[in-house]
């Protein structure tokens, strides 16, 4: 009888253990990130923050949650609009809480894992730190980081999502920024008409005007807007007259080096037609205004880029053809991706 009871008890424990095992949540699942073979290796080290399905989903929720701002009115996605390649369409300067206005335009967010530095002046040097500036800037989201972390820890939904993505434990700033970085690492644009042509996709080719525009681009623009990212990541003075109301010294604000006066980061030209206005202060609302500046409006100052000593003369025909080529850099799959689209935060 005793032997039978022992056997029954062991059998019960075995069955209970197996059933309990089926209730255990699986760990974070790896998020597949497929990158083009003709792009350089990303500079963001994803081995230190491996992308997971749960981490990316959490980062997406945070990106679109207005509660990351002090008064719960401004989310990251408020300024970074997907249809404008995650820039702020038709707004020359960034907008924030209390109807405040920043002093620079909102840069598009894409292909961030290939960037070593962020912001127009390169004031942030790591993808995981990048969100800190807009979250805490009084003219943007204006939130205190400690207060934000307290808000998130007080939210049962977020506690569960953070546990799913990073394991059990308190929510902290490192986890918040890692989750946002995981989502931003998926914001990649490399499937435009231009890309299809470069990959020799069957049946896809430039029109005559696009082909001519590509030749003009290679001759006059490619030194700074280097393919395939369409930026070389450098800082240059492109001859803009200084905006007297902003007094923006550019890169010099970070380096304190007078040689960097009026130098700003070279933006990517991908999706450029979808993301006006242009330049660091959003002064140009039309891409043809940009062409006119480089052709006839470059101001010569001591730090002007050597490539612009004589401007970049363009005929009206060349401007038109260049416009047609830049249209081929629009990536419909990126700006319409459901995986990147806004989600409504209900609690």
CB count in 10 Å sphere of residue 229: 19
Residue 122 to residue 21: CA distance in whole angstroms: 49
Closest alpha carbon to 126 in 214, 66, 185, 209: 185
The pair phi, psi for residue 304, each rounded to 5°, is -55, 140
Hey, which residues does 284 pair with through a beta bridge?
Answer: 278
Residue 212 to residue 48: CA distance in whole angstroms: 44
3-state secondary structure of 278: strand
Q: Label residue 38 exposed, middle or buried (CB < 10 Å: 0-12, 13-18, 19+).
A: exposed
Q: Can the peptide bond before residue 277 be classed as cis, meaning omega within 30 degrees of 0? A: yes
Joined tokens for residue 119: 């912001």
Residue 188 to residue 116: CA distance in whole angstroms: 15
Q: Label residue 42 exposed, middle or buried (CB < 10 Å: 0-12, 13-18, 19+).
A: middle
* 18 is known to lie in a ligand binding site: no
Hey, which residues does 263 pair with through a beta bridge?
Answer: 250
Residue 261 to residue 248: CA distance in whole angstroms: 9
Closest alpha carbon to 47 in 185, 223, 229: 185
* 10 is known to lie in a ligand binding site: no
Question: Roughly how many angstroms between the first and final C-alpha of the chain, as a whole number?
Answer: 57
* 224 is known to lie in a ligand binding site: yes
Annotated binding site: 76, 79-80, 221, 224-225
Binding-site entries for heme c: 76, 79-80, 221, 224-225
């Amino acid at each position: 009888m005793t032997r039978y009871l022992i056997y029954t008890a062991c059998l019960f424990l075995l069955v209970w253990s197996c059933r309990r095992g089926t209730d255990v949540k699986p760990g974070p699942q790896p998020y597949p990130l497929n990158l083009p073979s003709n792009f350089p290796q990303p500079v963001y080290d994803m081995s230190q923050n491996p992308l997971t399905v749960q981490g990316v989903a959490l980062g997406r929720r945070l990106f679109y949650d207005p509660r990351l701002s002090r008064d719960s009115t401004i989310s990251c996605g408020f300024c970074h609009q997907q249809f404008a390649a995650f820039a702020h369409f038709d707004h020359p300067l960034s907008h924030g809480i209390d109807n405040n206005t920043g002093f620079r335009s909102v840069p598009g967010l894409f292909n961030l894992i290939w960037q070593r530095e962020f912001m127009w002046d390169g004031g942030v040097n790591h993808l995981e730190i990048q969100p800190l500036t807009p979250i805490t800037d009084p003219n943007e989201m204006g939130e205190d980081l400690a207060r934000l972390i307290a808000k998130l820890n007080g939210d049962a939904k977020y506690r569960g999502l953070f546990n799913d993505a990073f394991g059990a434990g308190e929510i902290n700033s490192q986890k918040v920024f890692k989750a946002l970085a995981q989502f931003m690492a998926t914001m990649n644009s490399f499937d435009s008409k231009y890309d299809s042509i470069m990959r020799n996709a069957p049946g896809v080719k430039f029109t005559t005007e696009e082909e001519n525009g590509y030749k003009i681009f290679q001759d006059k623009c490619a030194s700074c807007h280097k393919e395939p990212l369409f930026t070389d990541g450098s800082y240059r003075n492109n001859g803009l007259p200084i905006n007297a109301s902003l007094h923006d010294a550019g890169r010099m604000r970070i380096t304190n080096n007078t040689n960097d006066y009026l130098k700003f980061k070279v933006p990517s030209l991908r999706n450029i037609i979808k993301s006006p206005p242009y330049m660091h202060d959003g002064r140009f609302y039309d891409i043809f205004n940009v062409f006119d500046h480089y052709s006839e409006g470059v101001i010569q100052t001591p730090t002007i880029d050597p490539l612009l000593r004589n401007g970049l003369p363009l005929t009206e025909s060349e401007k038109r053809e260049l416009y047609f080529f830049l249209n081929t850099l629009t990536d419909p799959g990126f700006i319409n991706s459901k995986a990147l689209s806004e989600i409504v935060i209900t609690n």
